[in-house]
Structures are given as structure tokens and as C-alpha cells.
Amino acid sequence: MSRYLLTGAAGFIGARVTELLLEHGHQVVGLDNLNPAYDVRMKQYRLGRLQALPGFEFHKVDICDGRALRALPQGAPIEAVIHLAARAGVRASLEDPWSYVETNAVGTLNLLEVCRQTHIPKFLLASTSSIYGAEAPLPTPEDADSSRPLQPYAASKKAAEVLSYSYHAMYGLDVTVFRYFTVYGPAGRPDMSMFRFTQWIAEERPLVLNGDGSQSRGFTFVDDIARGTILGLRPLGYEVMNLGGHEAVRMTEVIRLLEELLGAKAHVVQQPAHPADMPASWANVEKARHLLGWEPRVSFAEGARELVEWYRRERDWTRTVATG
Ligand SMILES: NC(=O)c1ccc[n+]([C@@H]2O[C@H](COP(=O)([O-])OP(=O)(O)OC[C@H]3O[C@@H](n4cnc5c(N)ncnc54)[C@H](O)[C@@H]3O)[C@@H](O)[C@H]2O)c1
């Protein structure tokens, strides 16, 4: 049994990683500031489920507040910091780049300092496929150029990655960086296409599609991401790995599948492509397979069905979640 400090515990991926760790009999100290970047009821819902489980302890803390982090109550030694808290999403980072740099760069630095000062040997960082910029080869390997990320979000994650490297180089901190590719699943982010499209089709609202729908994403089911994240807790030195689905799915295909699963027609309203959106993303996951024995298990069709089933079960409130 190990004890982990996990940031972003009320977030989409953080909550699922926490659930799996608790199922494996570990203890999790979860941090989150429950900010209103999207409908806070989603965070409260996830947190409520975690708080019903044994082995979970929660602190409402802002990771940008170094003093608050240092004041956290000490308990049994922490095996690793699993750092998933972030300002996430490419589009919103054009509107408020400051909060992205503050949370994703300074917040990460604060947690690296927690590791250094309290002798926590392992740091796991969530980074993003957006870091590869516009010219990435498909499927994209980790050694593709990531020195020219396009959006402030991706730039702030690059800062987090290289800060983590410097703590590895200077203090011997063991670091795993995961570049996640478009994650979806039950209780997902309401600012992302899978949740929005599900709600808009189910509730017969206009489905706003940016671009002509030919854009594709390496959609990855949240359980695959959570399982890979936990595998990354082993000692590795310093490694950067992609975690992404096998399939790159076009938006037109996403809409078609959701229509089929929901038994309803999408009322598509086409708008110009968003300048922050990439035309395509698709992971090469050879490295995670080689180092961790990981590969995605859940097909897009299966994962989309799970999301739709969850949405329907919770529909009395999910239909009112703000999706922008
Ligand atoms: N979902 C994806 O497709 C995806 C893809 C690539 C990378 N990622 C990365 O994975 C991680 C988790 O993403 P997610 O989709 O679960 O996002 P999320 O927004 O659902 O979760 C992040 C959590 O961090 C918390 N948080 C934000 N700022 C904080 C702060 N200053 N102090 C404390 N808590 C704070 C938020 O309240 C939220 O609950 C993020 O680092 C994100 O950048 C996600």
C-alpha cells in the first residue's frame, strides 16, 4: 500500500486515477481548488464520489499558493506526486494566457519544490499532445519537434516539462511526463467535444461544429489513460511518453456514432475552423508499450457507448451542465 499526493483530484482524469488507486488499496491525498473554468457541478460530482471511498483525503488548495502547499498536514510518507491539476484546453488559453502560465508553470514549480523539500522521490506530470505544434508527423512519436507549441496552453505545458527536467537534472527527482491525447469518457470535461456533442444531440440543441468536420483526434478512453498513468509511477529516470488511442477519428464520424448511440439526429451548425484547433492528432504509443507494457484497450465505439450510458443515467442534471 502506498500513499500518493494527486493534484486536480476533482478533475476528469484526476478523479479516475484516484478511483483506480483507491481500488488497488492505496491512499490518495487529493488537492484541487475547484475553480470555475467549467461548470463546477462536474467537479463536485466527481469529488462526492471519491469522498465516499476509504483511503481518500481531500484539501481544497490552490497549487499557485506555495505557502498553502507547505502548510498541508504531514502524514505517512508520500511515494509520488501525480500532478494533473492544470488550466486545460487550447481555446480558452487564448483568452486568459496568464492563468495558464500561473497554474501550469508556477503551480508545477511549486509542486517540484514540495518534492525537493519533503524528499518525495517521484513526480508524474500530465502534459499534452498539443505540444507538438502544427507540423507533427502522424502518428506522432515523442521525439517529434515540441519546441514550437502553438497555443499558450501548449507553451505553458512545455514550461512544466522542462522545469521538471531541471529538477531531475539538479536534484535527481525521478520524473514521468505523459503527453495525453484527447481524453474522453463518463464525467468528462464539458468544454470538450465528446461531452458537448453528446448533450447537444441528446437535448436536440444546435451542434456547433468548427470547420468542416474533417479534423481528426486520437481519442483515448479515460480508463486507458488512468491505467497508463498508474503504470508510469515506477522509477524511470526521466521519460516523456505519449498516451493515446489507436484510432484517429474524424469529427464527422464522432457525430455519426453519437447520433446512432443516442437515437437522435444532430442539428449541425457549421462555423469557421477555430485558429487554436489542430487539424489532426494521433499518437505513436510504441514507447509506452515498450517501457510500461501499456496500450489502449477500449475502442472508440465502446468508449463512446460508455459515455452515452453515463450521460443518460445522470441526465436529470447533465442536460443542464454549461457547455458553452
Ligand atoms: N482531457 C484531455 O483530453 C487532456 C489532454 C491532454 C492533457 N491533459 C492534461 O491532463 C490533466 C488533467 O486534465 P483534465 O481533462 O482532467 O482537466 P480538468 O480541468 O477536468 O482537471 C484539472 C483539475 O485541476 C484543478 N485545478 C486547476 N487549477 C488549479 C489550481 N491552481 N490549484 C488546484 N487545482 C487546480 C481543476 O479545478 C480541475 O479539477 C491536465 O494537466 C491537462 O492539461 C488533458
Ligand 1, CB cutoff 6 Å, lining residues: 7-8, 10-14, 31-35, 43, 62-64, 84-88, 103, 107, 126, 128, 180, 182-183, 189
In angstroms, the CA 190 to CA 226 distance is 19
The alpha carbon of 54 and the centre of ligand 1 are apart by a number of angstroms equal to: 23
pLDDT at 275: 85
Q: Which of 12, 229, 278 to mutate to test the pocket of ligand 1 (most atoms within 8 A of CB)?
A: 12
pLDDT at 278: 84
Across 21-173, the runs of DSSP E, i.e. the strands, are: 27-32, 56-60, 80-83, 122-128
Other CB atoms within 10 Å distance of the CB of residue 198: 25
In angstroms, the CA 45 to CA 61 distance is 18
pLDDT at 296: 97
Catalytic pick from 153, 167, 180, 184?
153
The alpha carbon of 265 and the centre of ligand 1 are apart by a number of angstroms equal to: 31
What are the grid coordinates assigned to 61, written together? 488548495
Output the pTM of the full model.
Answer: 0.98
What residue ranges of the chain have pLDDT lower than 50?
none
What are the grid coordinates assigned to 147, written together? 519546441
What is the set of domains in the chain, with CATH numbers?
3-318 (3.40.50.720)
- CA 193, 190, 106, 219 dihedral sign is negative
pLDDT at 277: 84
User: Of the candidates 81, 60, 62, which has an alpha carbon nearest to the alpha carbon of residue 17?
Assistant: 81
Quick check: is 100 catalytic?
no
pLDDT at 247: 86
pLDDT at 30: 98
Residue with CA at minimum distance from ligand 1 atom 34? 32
